[in-house]
Amino acid sequence: MAQVSLRNVCKTFPGNVNAVNKVNLGIENKEFMVLVGPSGCGKSTTLRMIAGLEDISSGDIFIGDKRVNEVPAKDRDIAMVFQNYALYPHMTVEENMSFGLRLRHLPKHEIRQRVNEAAEILGIKRLLNRKPRELSGGERQRVAVGRAIVRKPMVFLFDEPLSNLDAKMRVQMRTEIHKLHIRLQTTIIYVTHDQVEAMTMGDRIAVMKDGVISQLGDPIDVYDHPKNKFVASFIGSPPMNFMVGKIIKKEGKLYFDEGKICVKLVEDMHKKIANYLDREVIFGIRSEDIYDKLFVSQAPPENIVRVNCEVFEPMGSEVYLYLNTGKHTFIARVSAHDRPKVNQEMDVVFDMSKVHFFDKNTEETIC
Ligand SMILES: Nc1ncnc2c1ncn2[C@@H]1O[C@H](COP(=O)(O)OP(=O)(O)OP(=O)(O)O)[C@@H](O)[C@H]1O
Ligand SMILES: [Mg+2]
């Protein structure tokens, strides 16, 4: 069993840099956990502490049932794949992959069998006699993964393994690693700053900011129910649209009044937002929850807003509209065939059952 558990884990670097602050995280056996967040939020430091490459300032780390705070990296039964692959340039692929096993004095036939098996899984058998400089970025990445697989560790740690690859290769390797997880059935902790990688690969994702886990959960759940404005803006592409405005009451109904546009809240949100009446809040709506009124048959009049279309970007499968209320700009993702006139007014419809409200001071989710 290879569950990993972090309890109140902190890391302070000299100069009082609190890189990781009281992180509590339980990774289940065979789970694919993704740590995601902007640069400098403490992802690599967290991973390096799990690997034993960095001391823990306070707190505890358990692998399986064993507390490993003082266990050296080589005895943790963990394999780590780094962003820069760190292959030995003078060794062949086969030698690179078998290096760790030779250090451990495994029998020769066992080493050969494990290298062959890993090369087969990764589709790099024909490259075994080449040197790293004779490989493409994607192939080098595979070798680095292969070197981790041959060790048959209890836990795999990946630190931004795809960030040196071009966009197409990244998508391909993303699927490969996903398949590998299904095949190997081991625990994986994967670090990335790319929210698409996080969403598509993780069984669960931990969204980090400033050394703290902001939200932990199933990717879709985090997308649909972000706990605060940071998570709402970080997860999803294009990011969620935000507007500042007031909650007002007209004829017993609650509205969000942005100054130029005004939309009616659904009844379900009334209870939670009641405290914010006549106060400013942050309104959030995802680009896919905004529709061109031309394509909506029965739009409730209170959800229609008049905006100026400044630019549109055809993406192939859809079109991004850059819209302006006169106070705020925001993006709508609409059907690929939509071609509104630029610099003219148009009506769009907000799906008010999908919107979010955040407290203006704390930026925590209200509803
Ligand atoms: N050896 C070190 N000494 C001092 N500060 C450090 C050290 N290593 C990291 N830090 C600081 O700790 C914080 C977290 O760094 P970390 O490398 O964990 O970030 P990250 O989330 O992996 O970022 P990135 O996405 O850029 O790789 C940063 O502010 C960084 O400057
Ligand atoms: Mg990092």
Q: Count Cβ atoms below 10 Å from residue 172 Cβ, excluding itself.
A: 14
Question: Rounded to whole angstroms, how far apart are CA atoms 156 and 348?
Answer: 47
Please give the share of the chain, as a percent, with pLDDT higher than 70.
100
The ligand with the least distance to the CA atom of 36 is: 1
Which pLDDT tens digit goes with each residue over 267-284?
A: 999 999 999 999 999 999
Residue 211 alpha carbon, nearest atom of ligand 1: 14
Average pLDDT over the chain, rounded to an integer: 95
E strands, the chain, in order:
4-13, 17-27, 32-36, 58-63, 66-67, 78-81, 155-159, 187-192, 204-209, 212-217, 241-250, 253-257, 262-264, 280-285, 290-292, 304-314, 318-324, 329-335, 344-350, 356-359
What are the two backbone dihedrals, phi and then psi, of residue 366, each rounded to the nearest 5 degrees?
-90, -50
For the Cβ of 45 lying below 6 angstroms from any atom of ligand 1, the answer is: yes
Number of folded domains in the chain? 2
Residue whose Cα lies nearest atom 24 of ligand 1: it is 39
What CATH code is carried by the domain that includes residue 335? 2.40.50.140
> What integer is the mean pLDDT of 299-307?
95
Q: Is the CB of 41 under 6 A from ligand 1?
A: yes
Give the position, in ligand 1's atom list, of the atom nearest the Cα of 45.
18
Domain annotation covers residue 19: yes
Do 229 and 260 lie in one domain? The reply is no
Q: Which residues surround ligand 2, an ion (CB under 5 A)?
A: 44
**Which tokens is 348 given?**
């769009």
Identify the H or E element spanning 240: none
| Judgement on whether residues 123 and 230 belong to the same structural domain of the protein | yes
Q: Is the peptide bond before 238 cis (omega within 30 degrees of 0)?
A: yes
CATH code, domain with 152: 3.40.50.300
Residues 57 and 197 in one domain: yes
Residue 167 confidence (pLDDT) above 90: no
Q: Check whether residue 186 and residue 287 sit in a common domain.
A: no
Give the domain range for residue 294. Answer: 241-359
**Which residues on neighbouring strands pair with residue 242, listed in sequence order?**
284
Q: Is the pLDDT of residue 212 over 70?
A: yes
Closest residue by CA, ligand 1 atom 18: 42
How do residues 314-344 score in pLDDT, each as one tens digit?
Answer: 999 999 999 999 999 999 999 999 989 999 9
Whether the per-residue pLDDT at 86 is higher than 90: the answer is: no
Q: Name, in order, each residue with C-beta under 8 angstroms of 179's C-beta and a sequence gap of 6 or more.
A: none
- Residue bearing the CA closest to ligand 1, atom 27: 39
**From the CA of 43, how far away is ligand 2's center (Å)?**
6
- DSSP characters over 261-328: -EEEPPGGGHHHHGGGBTSEEEEEE-GGGEEEGGG-SS--GGGEEEEEEEEEEE-SSEEEEEEE-SS-
Pocket of ligand 1 contains residue 42 by CB under 6 Å: yes
Residue 358 has pLDDT above 90, yes or no: yes
Where does a domain end: 214, 234, 254?
A: 234
Which of 234, 255, 290 is a domain's end point?
Answer: 234
Whose C-alpha lies nearest to ligand 1, atom 29? 40
Per-residue model confidence (pLDDT) at position 1: 64
Paired with 155 in beta bridges are: 78, 187
Give domain status of residue 149, yes or no.
yes
Q: Residue 287's pLDDT is what?
A: 98
Pick from 174, 184, 179, 193: which is nearest to 148 by CA?
A: 184
Model-level pTM?
Answer: 0.94
Buried b (16+ CB within 10 A) or exposed e, 321-356: bbbbbeebebbbbbeeebebeeeeebebbbbbeebb
Residues 138, 198: one domain? Answer: yes
Q: Could you tell me if 118 and 212 lie in one domain?
A: yes
The length of the chain is 367
